[in-house]
Amino acid sequence: MAGSVNKVILVGNLGKDPEIRRTQDGRPIANLSVATSESWRDKATGERKEKTEWHRVVIFNEGLCKVAEQYLKKGAKVYIEGQLQTRKWTDQSGVEKYSTEVVLQGFNSNLTMLDGRSGGGGGNFGSDDSGSDFGSSGPSSAAPRRAVAAAGARNSDMDDDIPF
Amino acid sequence: MAGSVNKVILVGNLGKDPEIRRTQDGRPIANLSVATSESWRDKATGERKEKTEWHRVVIFNEGLCKVAEQYLKKGAKVYIEGQLQTRKWTDQSGVEKYSTEVVLQGFNSNLTMLDGRSGGGGGNFGSDDSGSDFGSSGPSSAAPRRAVAAAGARNSDMDDDIPF
Amino acid sequence: MAGSVNKVILVGNLGKDPEIRRTQDGRPIANLSVATSESWRDKATGERKEKTEWHRVVIFNEGLCKVAEQYLKKGAKVYIEGQLQTRKWTDQSGVEKYSTEVVLQGFNSNLTMLDGRSGGGGGNFGSDDSGSDFGSSGPSSAAPRRAVAAAGARNSDMDDDIPF
Amino acid sequence: MAGSVNKVILVGNLGKDPEIRRTQDGRPIANLSVATSESWRDKATGERKEKTEWHRVVIFNEGLCKVAEQYLKKGAKVYIEGQLQTRKWTDQSGVEKYSTEVVLQGFNSNLTMLDGRSGGGGGNFGSDDSGSDFGSSGPSSAAPRRAVAAAGARNSDMDDDIPF
DNA sequence: TTTT
DNA sequence: TTTT
């Protein structure tokens, strides 16, 4: 079908450090566990309640994987924009299971840090995925500010000098 | 946790008619099956591919249930705004399963018809849920335009005559 | 027309403290000035560039006005969800001007604090607007957590004990 | 600043045909005029009211300009995702004016047709902007389905064969 | 006018 | 299971 939209927007915190693995042909995939919560006062009892929802986030976008690996840690607050995707798999005992994930892949994905942990500051990272030196970045001591610049470079087609 | 956002935005088509059921205390719950699709041309083979994602949508909001029951049909195109929620349940053979759904409940939910089937025209239905005559609406022959008006009435606090 | 959606989502920082005023009949209106920024490296020159966009945000929703007044300060980071609205006005020299604003009013508006300034923590504030004791809250020394609870109470119809 | 989000989502109808012009260096720019409307019943008088908001949409993205030129017409229903941007300009009598626009440029922009006018069908067009044969497309008699395919090709990095 |  |  055409003419459809599938978009998820989350603002939440990482429940643990990102997990990065690689496909057989070397592409990185990052998995995030993101919590969102709501709190409200129960109408009947008056007591305060809170409910936390955990989201499984999967990043296929190379540039965003790099960001996740270098800058995100357990507890980090992030803005995430991706798509809903349900995957079918079979567990070790042969039972079919379904897993619904928020997938960041291709255009219209976004990952933005919203807190300035570890001396850095939030960074906005698009999804052009043209940067591909993931894994070759040497000593990952790069300062956040350079990272922002590098990420910005990937999106350099966004904004440059349009005369009109 | 506070300071979080959990939002899903879908534009897609119903795979079948809405299913409406009721809680023990009489509140309606509507289930929609919504398809979103993407198509692209495979870089390697050049062939055209298409992938459809099915979304399970659950509406707790009374007014929106009413809209779903009265106006939505298999094939209808809708705009949906809700939250991601994963539910755990146990199947008949005792296996634990998880189901992730797009839930429309409370504020910040939306359901809007995007096609003008049956002579009507898309309608925008908010989520105030103050209307509660669901089920008592008599002969459901109401014309879509009246429905829009009725739905609008539920949101009458939106817009009226703010002097400034 | 029916079947339309008008939604703005911002994550940004307040350029100054919120400004609160009142309509003749006593309803509060809050104005926020919110900055969003993008940075990128210029493809040609290689230099780092940054562009800031300022958004005029107007809150008609009583509960959200209260939140703005009590908890938001210059520099605060916020998540905002509202609608685009363009207003025509005439300046003192009789020239017609247009002002486009992000309006928070009625359902489908949201204001969430994303930083934990003043010992608090971000709070998620919906838009039911049923709370109306704005202005009578006495010594505004209320701790953020109580505020979250109070705000949550306004949304208590969101979530309570749906059996299914 | 980093860590910010500036996003507009519209579903509305074109008030007139798209206007396409070109920069001095040949890049296309499309302008759309998009209407969104709300209707509600006035609480006091009980009468039905409707308010239409007009949005000025500017597309810098080459691929999306092409889509606009080839497939969008007055009355078309579209899903639009872009950014808010306010531009300052001086009119012929020297008065400074501001114009706020919804800009589609770079990643995280989207334009999707939601109705199947002229025998076609809605199309989903991303924002990779790597296609650049705009203007050279010869007899613009291309059928919508081919256009969808072409647009899909621009996003062919989205989805292909990720083994994991 | 913010933030990094 | 939809839609194109």
Contact call for C29 and B4, based on CB within 8 A = no
Reading phi first (left if > 0) and then psi (alpha if -120 to 50, else beta), residue A30 is in beta
What count of other Cβ atoms lies within 10 Å of the Cβ of residue A157? 18
pTM for the model: 0.81
| Residue A123: per-residue pLDDT | 54
Q: Give the residue-averaged pLDDT of B41-53.
A: 90
pLDDT, tens digit (0-9, with 9 covering 90-100), for D119-151: 334 455 666 544 333 433 333 333 332 222 222
Which residue of C40, C158, C160 is in closest CB contact with A159? Answer: C40
Contact call for B38 and A99, based on CB within 8 A = no
Which residue of B41, B79, B160 is in closest CB contact with D43? Answer: B160
In the numeric block, which tokens belong to residue D159? 């989805």
| Residue C78: per-residue pLDDT | 97
**D-interface mutation test, from C5, C6, C48, most D Cβ less than 10 A away:** C6
Q: How many Å apart are CA A7 and CA B34, to the nearest integer?
A: 13
B4: contact with C, CB 8 A cutoff: yes
Specify which residue's alpha carbon is closest to the C1' of nucleotide E1. Answer: C15
**Shortest CA gap C46–chain B (Å):** 31
pLDDT, tens digit (0-9, with 9 covering 90-100), for C92-114: 988 889 999 999 998 899 999 99
pLDDT of C129 over the 80 cut: no
For chain B, what percent of residues have pLDDT higher than 90?
A: 55
pLDDT of B10 over the 70 cut: yes
C62: contact with B, CB 8 A cutoff: no
**A-interface mutation test, from B25, B33, B36, most A Cβ less than 10 A away:** B36
| Residue C127: per-residue pLDDT | 64
Q: Give the residue-averaged pLDDT of A96-112.
A: 94
Q: Give the residue-averaged pLDDT of C60-73.
A: 96
Q: Mean of the per-residue pLDDT values for chain B?
A: 77
- Segments in chain D below pLDDT 50: 1, 117-122, 129-164
Encoded amino acid at B75, one letter: G
Closest to A53 in 3D by CA, of C129, C152, C159: C159
Q: How many Å apart are CA B64 and CA D2, to the nearest integer?
A: 38
pLDDT, tens digit (0-9, with 9 covering 90-100), for A20-34: 999 999 999 999 999
Pair C141, B20: CB distance under 8 Å? no
Q: Give the residue-averaged pLDDT of A65-88.
A: 96
pLDDT of C137 over the 50 cut: no
**Shortest CA gap B46–chain C (Å):** 31
What per-residue string of b and e applies to C33-69 under the rule 16 or more CB within 10 Å gives b? bbbbbbbbbeeeeeeeeeeebebbbbbbbbbbbbbbb
What count of other Cβ atoms lies within 10 Å of the Cβ of residue D71? 24
**Shortest CA gap A83–chain B (Å):** 9
| Residue C42: per-residue pLDDT | 86
CA angle B120, B8, A71 (to 5 degrees): 155
| C 30-59: CB under 8 A from D | 35-39, 50, 52-55
Instruction: Name the pLDDT band for B51 (thresholds 50, 70, 90).
Output: very high
Angle between helices C144-154 and C62-71 (to 10 degrees): 170
